[in-house]
Structure formats: C-alpha cells, structure tokens
C-alpha cells in the first residue's frame, strides 16, 4: 500500500471507531486480532445491507426462499463437504521471526511492491507464475518463486523460510460433556461457510416450500475461519458474516445459470449507485475443491482491487457427497418433459450455482467508497472542510435528522411532532444542542442524507429547510411533504 492510501485507509478505520461504526472486539483487553464489534451506526448500516440483500434475493425472486440454519452442524458434514481434508491454505514460516504467512499473500505483497516501483512486467510475471503453481499445487515451485524473487519477511528482513505446508482454517470446539478420552469424539466445527446448512436442508426446503427446479435457497449468518494472516481491518476476519444463495438447477444448465448469476450479482452492486469503474471480474485459475467454474466480483478498495463476492459453479459435488456420507438420497424428481427423449427428466442430483458475499466486506466496500474528506471553498477565498459519508440513501443508518433551530419558542414541539410522524417509517434522529452548522457536520460524518431544520418561519407557514448531504443544497419545503420525500428515496 502506498503511504497515501495507507493514510486514507487509517483515516477510515479511525472514523469508523470515532463515530460508532466499528470497534475492535473486547478493546479494554487490547482487542482480539481480526475480530470486531459493530457500534450503534455500524450495526444499523450492517443490518440495512443484509436486509437489502435479503429482500433482493427472496422477495424479488419468486423462486428463491430463505433459511436460517444453525452454526453447529454434525461433524460428518465437514468430512463430506471436503473441508476437513481440503480447507487449508499453503503457509510458510520465517525461521527468524517465527511469523507465518499465507504463500499467496506473501507473493502478492511482493507484486504490489513491484507495481509501486513501476516494474509492471515483473509484477504480472510473478502473479502469473503464482496462479499457475497454485493451480498445480506445486509447493516446491512456489518455494522456488519466493527464493528466486528474494522475498523477505517484513519483520526479520530475512529470507530464511521453512518449506511450504498446508494449514486447516476451521475452528473446532467440544460439544456437550466430554465423555471420552479421545477429544475428537466430541469435536464439532464452527462452520467456515454458511452454504453447508443449505445443502443438508435441500430436501426439507424443496418439499416444504414446494419448490420446482430451478430454485434457490438464501441464507445469511456467521462463519468462522482461523485466518493466518488476518489484516486490513474488517476485510479479513476470523468471525464474519456471509450472505449466500445456492441455486439448484438441472444438470447441463449450470453454464447458463452461472453466467446469469455472474451478471445479476454485479447488477445488484451497481443498483446501489456504486461506481462501475471500481468493479471487475476475476476468473479463478485455482479452483476450490468443490468448484467447476468460479469467479470473483472484485472492488477497488483503498488497498487495491480485492474480492468482495464469489460466484461458483459447484456441480453436484456437495449434494452427492452428502448422499454418500449420510446414505440418504439427495435427489429431485423432475417431471418436466425432456424434448430430446419425450420423457420426463426424472430423478437426478441437482447441480448448484452459488453466490457468496461477505457482509462485513460489503460493509467495508460501502464505507470506504462513501468516505470523503471534502474541501469546501468559501466566498472569502479561504477553505472550509468536512468529513462526509456519501452512503447510499437506502443503507444510511439514519435517514432524517430533525433539528429545531433553538430549544425554545415551541420549535422542539413542532420537531417532535414531525419525528413522531416519521419514525415508524424510517430511522430519524433528533437533536437540539449546538449551532446548526456543527449539527450538520455530525450528520455528514455518519452519512445522514437529509436534515430538516425547524425555525421561526415554520411557525408562520409550516415550511422547513431541508438540507441535502451530498450537495449541501438547502430548500424550503412544506413540513407535511418531508416524510414522502424521504420515503421516495428509500424504496
Ligand atoms: N461458500 C463459498 C465460500 O465461502 P469464499 O470465496 O471462501 O466462498 C465467500 O467466501 C465470501 O465470503 C468472500 O467473497 C468474502 O466476501 C467473504 N469472506 C471469506 N473469508 C472472509 C474473511 N476471513 N473475512 C471476511 N469475509 C470473508
């Protein structure tokens, strides 16, 4: 990261803490690495993102229904899904600092450094080699790439590396009273993805909601990964939340559905008014153990283009594995007629296209895209400044701030009446303390799109001043038009 982007990113992290969006977890004990808590405005923003996703997936698609599966699952789930054997990352340790690195992160950091030095060709070459070696699970080749490029540990400054080894990312704990000498008998995992809760409930949902293929099951919830290199604030956490949707399709149609969801999910991002030029697709070379085809939707964070969402064509891998391990059929009877044979398609294990987005990562995307340290030229030639969050109106924690100009003359009463008329429809904020300019700045800093001021003229003609966060323009409107104006922007 360049010094400038590092400074901007640090400012965003400080702002998130200062204004009650994100706090380090258990901060009074110096925090817990890569675990965070969401404050009053953060929890609202997070909920609004989750609700927006949920509504667009379930309410806006008649063939997608919801699910809320438990975090704990039968341990065999993770054997069947392949996570016990395959959910690991190649790691390397520096023998002098004892610091452990994910191999891809170490090489990517070197590539970033080359890019900063203007060595574009070398940057592409090292990333290309890394992709190819990872795809081939060639750890000897990866170690050689690290050695050849003289990659050193950022702490010890040495290239005294161990061999590359695999490290499983699942957290485990004991379940119930420990009744055996072998702790593995009671071992359960904290789910590393929410998707498996959907797979094991596939038939429950299909039958009870009477779904016909193609159909989807959507779920949001916590996931846990013992990330080795947890960094970049809430970008990579050990406890995080996912919003996942598994779309069950007839075998042979997965290619077209993969294409459909790839486009549909990018449209969802853009529907929030986020800039197209900050998005790109990245097709995977190294596929996860379950994937047939996969891509990331990447966004340009302050530290560069990074994955925010994955679209994966998972074939019938998961359902077939659960069928094998549980010895219970995971099949669907398709009575549509196959034009080629003139007969129903009959029984089959459906194929799956998955969309999987991290809620916390989407939160960081929204926050970092919204953050601006704005310089405002004044008429006398000097400059004023403000920190403003240009949050999408739909997602802003507070939609409307209601500000009586003074604490007297009946203005608070009018303001509270307006508040009572609006609060059932959207989140409002009332404040009568401090100069109006100061109050506007506080609302800018938490991204409130509309402020209305009740002044003495309100008493005469029932109008208020509405101030728009992004343009800072103000206009006079009738007090009874305020609610509808805000509602129009959030639906
Ligand atoms: N079910 C498929 C799956 O879990 P993934 O690419 O490993 O796929 C999906 O994760 C999304 O979850 C990522 O695109 C990212 O947004 C989010 N995610 C994954 N690991 C994360 C972590 N450690 N911290 C925050 N978000 C994470």
CA angle, residues 103, 104, 109, in degrees to nearest 5: 100
- Whose alpha carbon is nearest atom 16 of ligand 1? 358
How far apart are the CA of 342 and the centre of ligand 1, in A?
42
Q: Hey, what long-range contacts does 454-458 have (CB within 8 A, 24 or more apart)?
A: 454/402, 454/403, 454/404, 454/405, 454/411, 454/414, 454/415, 454/418, 454/479, 455/404, 455/405, 455/411, 456/405, 456/409, 456/411, 458/411, 458/414
Q: Which pLDDT value is given to residue 230? A: 66
Residue range 63-67: mean pLDDT, rounded: 98
What percent of the chain has pLDDT above 70? 98
Residue 244 tokens, joined: 């996942």
Alpha-carbon radius of gyration of the chain: 26
Q: pLDDT at position 171, please?
A: 96
Residue nearest to atom 12 of ligand 1 (CA): 358
- Condensed to tens digits (0 to 9), the pLDDT of residues 240-256 reads 999 999 999 999 999 99
Over range 90-116, report the average pLDDT: 92
Cα 485 to ligand 1 centroid, rounded to whole Å: 37
Compute, in angstroms, the gap from residue 84 CA to the centroid of ligand 1.
Answer: 17
Q: How far apart are CA 361 and CA 444, in angstroms?
A: 22
Cα four-point dihedral sign 323, 328, 332, 335? positive
- What residue owns the CA closest to ligand 1's atom 22? 236
Q: What's 58's DSSP letter?
A: I
- Stretch 86-109: mean pLDDT, rounded? 91
Q: What is the pLDDT of residues 471-483, one digit of tens each?
A: 999 999 999 999 9
CB 186 within 8 A of CB 176: yes
How sure is the predictor about 111, in pLDDT bands with cuts at 50, 70 and 90?
very high
Ligand 1 centre distance from Cα of residue 102 (Å): 16
Report CA(3)–ligand 1 centroid distance (Å): 27
Query: Residue 176's pLDDT band (boundaries 50, 70, 90)?
Result: confident
Q: How far is the CA of 357 from the centre of ligand 1 (A)?
A: 6
Pocket of ligand 1 (CB under 6 A): 193, 195, 225, 227, 236-237, 240, 242, 244, 307-310, 354, 356-358, 360-361
Minimal-distance CA residue to ligand 1 atom 19: 358
pLDDT of residue 178: 64
pLDDT above 80: residue 289 = no
Predicted confidence at residue 293, as pLDDT, reads: 92
Return the ligand 1 atom nearest residue 309 CA.
Answer: 14
Sole residue written with tokens 């989807």: 216
25 neighbors 36 (Cβ within 8 angstroms) = yes
Atom of ligand 1 nearest to the CA of 194: 1
pLDDT band at 179, cuts 50/70/90?
Answer: low
With vertex at residue 17, the alpha carbon angle to CA 13 and CA 19, rounded to the nearest 5 degrees, is 115
Could you tell me the distance, in angstroms and rounded to a whole number, from the CA of residue 360 to the centre of ligand 1?
10
Counting every residue written for the chain, the total comes to: 491
Give the separation between CA 202 and CA 320, rounded to whole angstroms.
12
């Amino acid at each position: 990261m360049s010094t400038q982007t590092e400074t901007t990113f640090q400012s965003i992290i400080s702002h998130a803490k200062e204004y009650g969006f994100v706090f380090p977890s258990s901060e009074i004990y110096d925090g817990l690495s890569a675990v965070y808590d969401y404050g009053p405005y953060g929890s609202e923003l997070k909920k609004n993102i989750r609700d927006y996703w949920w509504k667009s997936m379930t309410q806006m698609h008649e063939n997608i229904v919801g699910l809320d599966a438990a975090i704990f699952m039968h341990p065999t789930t993770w054997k069947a899904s392949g996570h016990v054997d395959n959910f690991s990352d190649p790691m390397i340790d520096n023998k002098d600092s004892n610091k452990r690195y994910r191999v891809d992160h170490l090489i990517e950091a070197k590539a970033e450094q080359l890019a900063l030095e203007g060595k574009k060709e070398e940057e592409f070459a090292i990333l290309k080699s890394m992709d190819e070696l990872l795809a081939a699970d060639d750890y000897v080749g990866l170690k050689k790439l690290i050695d050849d490029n003289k990659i050193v540990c950022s702490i010890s400054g040495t290239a005294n590396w161990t061999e590359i080894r695999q490290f499983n990312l699942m957290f485990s704990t004991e379940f119930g009273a420990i009744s055996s000498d072998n702790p593995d008998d009671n071992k359960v995992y904290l789910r590393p993805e929410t998707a498996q809760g959907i797979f094991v409930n596939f038939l429950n949902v299909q039958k009870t909601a009477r779904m016909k293929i193609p159909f989807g099951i959507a779920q949001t919830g916590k996931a846990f990964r013992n990330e080795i290199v947890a960094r970049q604030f809430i970008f990579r956490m050990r406890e995080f939340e996912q919003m996942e949707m598994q779309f069950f399709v007839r075998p042979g149609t997965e290619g077209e559905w993969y294409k459909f969801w790839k486009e549909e999910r990018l449209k969802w991002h853009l529907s929030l008014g986020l800039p197209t030029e900050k998005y790109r697709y990245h097709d995977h070379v190294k596929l996860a153990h379950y994937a047939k085809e996969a891509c990331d939707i990447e966004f340009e964070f302050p530290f560069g283009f990074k994955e925010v969402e994955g679209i994966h064509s998972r074939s019938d891998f998961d359902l077939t594995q659960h069928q094998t391990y549980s010895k219970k059929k995971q099949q669907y009877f398709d009575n549509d007629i196959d034009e080629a044979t003139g007969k129903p398609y009959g029984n089959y294990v459906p194929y799956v296209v998955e969309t999987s987005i991290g809620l916390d990562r989407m939160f960081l995307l929204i926050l970092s895209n919204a953050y601006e340290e704005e310089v405002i030229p004044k008429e006398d030639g000097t400059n004023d400044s403000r920190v403003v969050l240009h949050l999408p109106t739909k997602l802003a924690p507070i939609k409307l701030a209601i500000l009586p100009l003074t604490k007297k003359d009946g203005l608070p009463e009018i303001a509270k009446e307006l508040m009572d008329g609006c609060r059932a429809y959207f989140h409002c904020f009332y404040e009568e303390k401090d100069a109006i300019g100061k109050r506007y700045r506080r609302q800018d800093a938490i991204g409130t799109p509309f402020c209305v001021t009740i002044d003495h003229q309100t008493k005469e003609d029932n109008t208020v001043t509405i101030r728009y966060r992004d343009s800072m323009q103000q206009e006079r409107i009738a007090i009874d038009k305020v609610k509808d104006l805000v509602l129009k922007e959030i639906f």
